[in-house]
Chain A
Amino acid sequence: MKFTLSWLKDHLETDASLDEITDALTALGLELEEVHDPAKDLEAFTVGYVVEAKQHPNADRLRVCIVDTGKEKIQVVCGAPNARTGMKGVFAPAGTHIPGTGVDLKKGVIRGEESNGMLCSEREMGLSDAHEGIIDLPEDAPVGEPFARFMGLDDPVIDIAITPNRGDCLGVRGVARDLAAAGIGKLKPFKAAEKIEGTFKSPVQWQRDFPKGAEDACPMVVGRTFRGLENGPSPDWMQRRLLAIGLRPISTLVDITNYVTFDLGRPLHVFDAQKLEGRELTMRLARAGEKIMALDGKEYELEDGMTCIADGKGLHGIAGVMGGEESGCTGDTTEMFLEVALFDPIRTAATGRRLGIESDARYRFERTVDPASTLWGAEVAARLVLEICGGEASELSIAGEMPDTDKKVTLRPDRVKTLGGVDMDVEGQRRILEALGFAIDTTEGQIVATTPSWRPDIDGEACLVEEILRVNGFDNIPVVPLDRDSALPEQILTVGQRREGFARKVLAGRSMMEAVTWSFMHDEQAKLFGSVPDSLRLDNPISADLSVMRPSILPNLLAAAGRNADRGYGDAGLFEVGPAWRDDTPEGEDVLAAGVRTGRSGPRHWAETPRSVDAFDAKADAMAVLAACGAPVDNLQVSRDAPAWYHPGRSGALRLGPNVLAWFGEIHPRVLKAMDVKGPAAGFEIFIHKVPQPRAKGGKTRPLLRPSPFQPLGRDFAFVVDAEVPADSLIRAARGADKSLIADVRLFDVYEGEGVGEGRKSVAIAVTLQPTERTLTDEDIEKVSAAIVAAVAKQTGGTLRG
């Protein structure tokens, strides 16, 4: 919402400085966006007198002018056809920044004649598009005076942000009222609304024609006819204000509608009465397919239920949004019919949105316009029309009724303290509310506030507290430290949230980079990672490649690794802890930790040779995270049933019985190819929330440590088993042979080939024996060795390698 300082002062009597005003606006919740002082841009431009303008000796189209700047006489070469001796124009000395061209003016010699400045056109000044000639100022313009001051352009433009609940501040008067309530001056009386008697009956009358239930589309419309008008350009003062807020002056009648819209927040529309058919103009619902050429020069096709304005022949307006071009007022208009209507905010918003029309009227109607203005708007408009265009005004034509806006809201005065934290007596509260236009009745210690018609947003006690706090200033709310012990938290983080943190720290500690990628992804790529139900396809994706909720985090990480490879960083380790979806229910959202490694295990190095990343990198990552999350990693089973996006022979699942805790493995080459990512790549997906919850109670103490006084000793075994036998089962068999003595079993070699036979492999393990009661005798060792060999033979069919 833009307005100028002088415009504000039309409604507000104040001595406050510009800074005081703008600070108060922000403190009121009418946040200052910008103050622009056009005089500052035009500082260097002054009124100059052309002492002499003569033909340039070497150029037909140029003149050599001597300009009196008030300080000195300066020679300027000028190309404007209207430059002549004795005129007054706008002079800019060399060095001036010319806003219209964006260039700094330089001294120069043009075709042999010195030029030390410039006489400016409106376009060069950035004032308009006019550039047929230089600005021709009136004879009485004082030479040497700043042009901006002479033209009244030294009026600062204030731009404020209006929150959607404050439709009343979409007019300068509403802003002035808030400022006055806050003590920045006094709101001037609203004289413009005084009634103007009509001198004849309006030949055009308003009608409303709505089906039952839709009457609220336009509860009331007021109009009147004007005749004998002269619709020329609007007066300078009005044009200056409209230009200052970025509106283009068109003609007096149109400018008046714009002016009242911004001055009082009251949108109007004017029809050329001679272009209307019949004696009635009707507010009604449109029928699908009805078309209208609107004032923006575009044709719109309306839908069923949109509100429109029609005569016997066709449509003349889209209610609350935009008028029709056909019946619009032009310079030739002598007879005008005025529309001051009240439209339903919701319907207006919906229509504007469907048709894609943004207009100052729509903006106001969808934030609600003061219903009372429907009547006084017709008087305000009439006063301006008659003053500027002459002619006479008819009596009012009124259809519908003003809705009842009286609303009583009760405020218990102690709520300003108990909700707002501010000590204020009833009198102080009453004063603020009355300044805002509330009618106050205090009975039995309560404030009963009748809301003014322009504040439909007020609908409860808390709103009144807010009004009082706002006008009193949020700065004046005393700061109270938060009482820490009023709610002792049981635990800040749940087990699951702690696990997500552990997963991040573990993976970053294992040289991976944490990424955060979109929750949505490309449909085609998603298909590579399981099926996506229709319920997870976005209706309105931001782009085609972000159209479904991701079924897995891996594809985004793989794509990111691919992008990094394209930048020359092919060895990537990326992980993300975040959601993936199975369906659209809260239970269908899994938070998991996923990661990929691509390329080689590290850079080339003098002491270590890097290798390609493989399934065991991913398995190690997954196990490290599971360990940190409290999973019993030694007891996890490894199965071969990872999903289809993994390499079928180089992937697996880590499980506790039927419960899959993680998938890991090399990524399927077909997936890499489809995603255009260069391998090798290994990845994992960890369902951190599926790790069993720790026991709630009694689990904090740890079993007592009983270090054995006896030396552990190691024995190595090599078994030959079928190549198909999983190493894991052999380790488990050995470990289970004597649980009291066997402390650890480590696999240190796997060999296939010569000496072990076709389809067979040799698996070597190191077993650590830890006696707890006495030093082991040779006999003891023999016994446990035999038990290990027997257990391995029984469970895997393995035999000791000879």
Chain B
Amino acid sequence: MDDLNALREELLAAVESADSAEALEELRVSALGKKGRITGLMKTLGQLSPEERRKNGQALNAVKDAVAAAMEARKSALENAELEGQLAAETVDVTLPVRPEAEGRLHPISQTLDEIIAILGEMGFSIAEGPDIEDDFHNFTALNIPPEHPARQMHDTFYLPEKQDGSRMLLRTHTSPVQIRAMQAATAKKDESGIPLRIIAPGRTYRCDSDMTHTPMFHQVEGLIVDRTGRIHMGHLKGCLIEFVRAYFEVADVPVRFRPSYFPFTEPSAEMDIGCTRKGGELKIGAGDDWLEILGCGMVNPKVLAACGIDPAEYQGFAFGMGIERLAMLKYGIPDLRTFFDADLRWLKHYGFLPLEVPTLFRGLTP
């Protein structure tokens, strides 16, 4: 038995001192291989009496297991050491900058419009469209702006060349002609399924005006609801627009004010202001002692309904319109309207939005 203990100690010491996978393998062969020392001892067991064979066999197996386990442990220790050495050699400077990444941005007009659509879409509005090059009927006459109406002067219209029949196309001065087109399309449906109508119409608009606060092209969103008389009145108009500005500016208690105003295509007409403070040149939307005009609105003028073939005795509704750039400027603190159309990369990066910032009411409108 002492011999076995000595063998065990000797082999374990040898395993511990093996300094490479090769040395370890050599040792394994010499101890556990076919001609190994432990294998050799195993072979002598057959000459012993059954009782001794069992006793010695157990002892010998214990030694064999201990040596095999030690070898396994030594092997993985050696492998670990080798891997660590290799990894140490592979060290890089992790402070190096990463590979160039995409830096694209969406224009604030797109983002603002997406926000508006998220809010009004939730209220049941769907999007209607119309052409930028309009005719006089849709842009003016159907909207109760006859040829000599003083309101036409306020519009600074861009005109295209006169046609043979004397008519002239124009660049739409507001998105309101889309109201007309939407109502005409609704009445064209024979089964009256076109009404109730609940649309918003975003788009480019044009006025022949250019200075600090005007650009010859800008964007508006128009809203229109037409329903049976009595179902939609001024109270709903207020409810809808108050909810809109609160959601858009994300100020739950923003004060609002409706002022009587005048638009040929609505009657009664109103302008909506929201409360704000102006301190040291900085504008803050919310409670305050100052007011900021935000949009124009009103009940659709019965003459406009009639011009679209809708019976004003049976139907009524409301409409509103607002400037997208203005809403973007107010919410995101963009100071100069003219910069919107300059495509300056520095501006686009600074005021633009990441494409994954999809505005929704439930997950948050604004990044």
Contact = CB atoms under 8 A, between A and B. Distances in A.
A509 B355 contact: yes
Contacts of B340: 516
Contacts of A546: 216
A178 to B, nearest CB: 10
Contact of B161 (A489, A505, A539): A539
Contact of B104 (A507, A543, A564): A507
Interface string A345-384: 1100110010000000000001100000000000000000
Contacts, number: 272
Contacts of A491: 126
Nearest to B262: A163
A179 to B, nearest CB: 14
B148 interface: yes
A497 interface: yes
Given A469-B260, A537-B160, A542-B208, A513 B302 contact: no
B352 A419 contact: no
B227 A487 contact: yes
A487 B127 contact: no
Contacts of B299: 419, 462
B148 A346 contact: yes
B99 A608 contact: yes
Contacts of B261: 29, 31, 163
DSSP majority for the B interface? Answer: mixed
Size category, A interface: 35 or more
B236 A480 contact: yes
Nearest to B269: A466
Given A462-B268, A477-B235, A492-B121, A519 B132 contact: yes
Contacts of A537: 160-161
A510 B104 CA distance: 6
A707 interface: no
Interface stretch (A77-85, A214-222, A571-579, A743-751): A571-579
Residue from B217, B225, B260, B303 having most chain A Cβ neighbours under 10 A: B260
B133 A513 contact: no
B127 A497 contact: yes
Contacts of A478: 235
Contacts of A509: 102, 104, 355-356
Contacts of A507: 104
A490 interface: yes
Interface residues of B, number: 93
A659 interface: no
B100 A465 contact: no
A483 to B, nearest CB: 7
Interface stretch (B7-15, B60-68, B150-158): B150-158
Interface in A486-514: 486-494, 497, 501, 504-514
A474 B102 contact: no
Interface stretch (B20-28, B29-37, B72-80, B239-247): B239-247
Contacts of B235: 421, 477-480
24 contacts: A345-B148, A349-B148, A366-B150, A419-B233, A420-B268, A460-B302, A465-B267, A482-B123, A506-B355, A511-B102, A513-B343, A513-B352, A514-B348, A516-B341, A519-B217, A534-B161, A535-B160, A535-B161, A538-B160, A538-B171, A542-B158, A549-B133, A589-B133, A605-B100
9 tightest CB-CB pairs across the interface, nearest first? A29-B260, A421-B235, A163-B262, A560-B343, A466-B268, A508-B104, A480-B235, A511-B102, A515-B343
Given A164-B151, A515-B343, A542-B208, 16 more contacts: A345-B148, A367-B150, A462-B268, A462-B302, A465-B267, A465-B268, A489-B121, A492-B121, A492-B127, A508-B105, A518-B217, A538-B160, A538-B171, A539-B160, A584-B160, A586-B131
